[in-house]
Chain A
Amino acid sequence: MTDLIQRYGRGLSWLSIGLTAFWLLALVILPYLGLFEQSFRPYLPVDEIGGPNDHYTLHNYMALFSNPQDITLCLPGKDTIPGSPIYLPDLVVNWPIHLYIFILTIVYSSVVTLIVLMLCYPIAYCMAKVMDPRSLPTFFLLLVIPLWVSELMRSFSWYIILSLNGPLSTLLMDLGILSAPVRWTWGLCGYSGIMVGLIYTYVLFMLFPVYNAMTSLDSNQIEAAEDLGAGWIRKHWRVIIPHCKPGIASGSVTVFMLAASSLLVPSLLASPKSRWFTEVIQQWMFESHDWNSGAAYAFLLLVVCTIFVTVMMKLFKVGLSDIAK
C-alpha cells in the first residue's frame, strides 16, 4: 500500500483503488448477490412479488433433477467413427433432461480444453525456444489478426464452412476425396461443429499463458537435460512441463470456463442433436420469462464449474498462487 502511494501519489492511488472497488462491488458482486437471492424464490407475476406465495424455496434448483426422459447414449464406435470395428450396443438411460445436457456440456468442455492444450503446447514451445525472436512480432500479429473480426462473424463463417453445401464439402468433392457432401457439424455425436468453433475461438487463451510460462524457463536447463542424455519425451516430461504447469493450469481454467459458458458458438454451430447448458439458461430467461429458474441454473453452472476446476487443480497439484504468477 505504502509502495503504491509512494510510486503514484495519493490521488492516483486512491482513484485506482476506488474504481476497482466500484467495478467489483457495483458491477460484479452486488448483481450476483441479487441474482443469487432471486434464484431461491418462485417465479411469480409482478403483483404477487412480496405476497404470501413469495417465499424461499429450493424448487428452482431441484428442477435440474426432474423431468426424466429416455435417452439413447451416444457411445464411441458405431455412429461416431464410420466403419469402426468397435461396436457398442445402444444404451438407453432415463435421466432428467437438463441434468443430461449439463453433464454433456461439462464433458465436451473438458475435451475442448484438452485438445486446445495439445494444439498450443507445441506452438508455444516453438515460439519460446525454437523460433528466431525477430520473427516473433510478425507471428503474434498473424495469431491476433482473426480477433479483429467479431466472434459472431467468425462463428457464422464456420457455420457456412461446415454446412452441407459449404466450401469444405465442395472442395473435398472437387478433389475427388468425397463422393457426396457431408454435414460437418454432425460428427462426434452431433458436437463436432461446436467443438471446432470453441477450439478456434478460445485457442489463444491457452497459447499465451503457456508461452509466457515457457519463456521464463532458462534454456540452459533444457541443454543440461539434453547433455545428461534425456530423450525428447523425458526432457518435456521432467523439465519443461513441470515448469509450465502454472501456465497450463491458468490456460486450462480459462478455456474450460469460457467453453462451458459459451452461448454463441453452441447455438450457431449446433447439430439437430446438440444442446448446451447455456442455451437452457437462455431459454429460461428469454422464452419462459422465468428469471428465477434461469438464475438458479446459472448458479449451478458457476458452482459446479468452480468445484470441477478446483478438483482438477488439486489432482494436478497446482495452487491458486501458481496461476497468479
Chain B
Amino acid sequence: MTRLTPSQELVRAARMSRRSLMKSAVALGAVGFAAPIYSTNALSSSGEMNFEGWAGYDDLKGKVFPAFEKATGIKVNFKEAAEQDTMLADAKTAVQSGAVDVTEPTINSLPSWSAEGVIQAWDLGKLAPGNYLAGVPGAEAGGPADVDGKRMWVPSCWGTEALTFKKDTIDGTYGKIGLADLWDDKYAGKVTIRAHSSLSAMGRVLDAAGKLPQPWMDSYKDEATMRKLWDIALAEAIKHKKNVAQFWSSENEAQGAFRTNGAELGLTWDSTGANMAAEGFGFIAPKEGAFGWSQGFVLLKGAKNVDQAHEFAKWISSAEGAAAWASAFKANPVGKGGIDLMDKAVSEFYAAAYPGDALSKLWWWPAQPAWWLKTRGEYADKWKSA
C-alpha cells in the first residue's frame, strides 16, 4: 500500500536501481554484504530496536519515534522501504543476520510472510490485546492474524480504497454512488483505477447482481476457482474498457490522472482522496462497501531486540501511540481512544467518507497467498493489454 507524495515518489524511483543491485547480490548468496547496515551493538540487546517500515512518512521520524523514546527510553533505528515487497525481500536476508526486528506489512500479505518462514509469533503476555478497537483485523483471537493458533501480526493502522469523485460533475452522496458506477457508460474515458483492484471491484459488482456461479470470496480459496471467477470478471471489464482514462499504480499516478489527465471518478486509496480534497474532489465509501486495508507489525525470526519490539507494538496500541501512528499515515487508529487524539482535519475527513453504516460494510481485503498474487498479476496483464 504505497502512498507517497510526488517528491517521495521521485526518491523511490531513484532508489530502484540500487534495489535491483541489492537483489543481484542476494541472488548471488552474498547476503552478508547487504544486511548488517544497522545497529553496531545489535549483539547485546539494549534500549533500542531496528524497525523497517514505510518510506515517505516524515512524522514517524520527526514526532512518533521521539515520543516513543520519551515514553519508554527505547530508541528506534528506522529503515525506510517504499513498498512492502521490498520489506519482504529485506526480511528474507535479515532472518539470517538479525538486522531487522520488526516490519510493517498489510494483513492480506501475512500468508506470504508466513509461508516464507521469516516471522515468529508475538507473545501476547507482553502486549495489551485489550487496547485494540473491536473489528480491526488482528484485534481478536482466531482472526486472520493468527497462524496455527499463534498471533503472528498485530495492527498499527488501517484505511480504505474507495471512490474519489469530482464534486462539480458527480453526485457523490453516500448510498447513491457505488462500484458499479466505475463501469457506467456515462463515465467513458473518465475513470482511473488500479488494474487488479478494479477486477475485484467488477467481481463484487457481478457477485451482488447474482451473475457469478459462486461467491467472489471463493476466488481466494484455490487457483481453479479463482481462474473461473476472474475470467468472468475480466471478460466483463474488457467490455467496459473505454471507461478507463488511466491505470494508476502509485499515489502520484492517481493524483496525476485527476489533475491533468481528465479523470473524474476513481477507485483510489483514501490518501488520494485526502490529497485531492483541496482541488474540488470528494472521497466516499461506495454503497457496496469500501475495500479495507490494515497494516501492522510482524516480529522477524532471528530478531535481536524482542522485548523492545513488544514494548513498541504495545505502545502503538495505546490511545496516544495509535493516534500518532494513524496521524503520520493520514489513516485510522487501531487503539481505543485514539480517534479523540487525532488531528482534526484527518478525523473530519474520515467522518465524511464513511457516513451511516459505511464502516460496518467495509470489505477487508482477504489474505493473499503466493499463488493468488501470481495469478492476479497475470490477470492484471491481460486486463491492461486488452
Contacts and interface: CB of A to CB of B under 8 A. Distances in A.
Contacts of A31: 24-25, 27-28
B262 A264 contact: no
Interface stretch (A16-24, A225-233, A286-294): A286-294
Interface in A282-312: 283-291, 293, 295
Q: Interface on chain A toward B: helix, strand, loop, or mixed SS?
A: helix
Contacts of A159: 256
Given A47-B117, A163-B262, A283-B380, A273 B385 contact: yes
A81 to B, nearest CB: 19
Most buried by B among A45, A183, A280, A286: A286
Contacts of A30: 28
A46 B118 contact: yes
16 contacts: A33-B28, A46-B116, A71-B386, A101-B385, A160-B256, A163-B261, A164-B245, A164-B261, A166-B260, A166-B261, A270-B247, A273-B384, A287-B373, A289-B88, A289-B116, A293-B374
B381 A34 contact: no
Nearest to B95: A46
B29 interface: yes
A290 B374 contact: yes
Interface string B120-148: 00000000000000000000000000000
Interface in A253-286: 263-264, 267-268, 270, 272-275, 280, 283-286
B5 interface: no
Given A152-B10, A289-B370, A289-B373, 4 more contacts: A46-B117, A166-B261, A263-B16, A289-B89
B92 interface: yes
Given A46-B95, A165-B260, A289 B112 contact: yes
Contacts of B385: 69, 71, 97, 100-101, 273-275
B24 A272 contact: no
Interface residues on B, range: 35 or more
A283 B377 contact: yes
Nearest to B92: A46
Contacts of A15: none
Contacts of B103: none
Given A46-B92, A284-B377, A291-B23, A275 B262 contact: no
Contacts of B386: 69, 71-72, 273
A272 B385 CA distance: 8
B14 A150 contact: yes
A35 interface: yes
B221 interface: no
Interface string B5-26: 0000010011010000001110
Contacts of B361: none
Contacts of B378: 67, 97-98
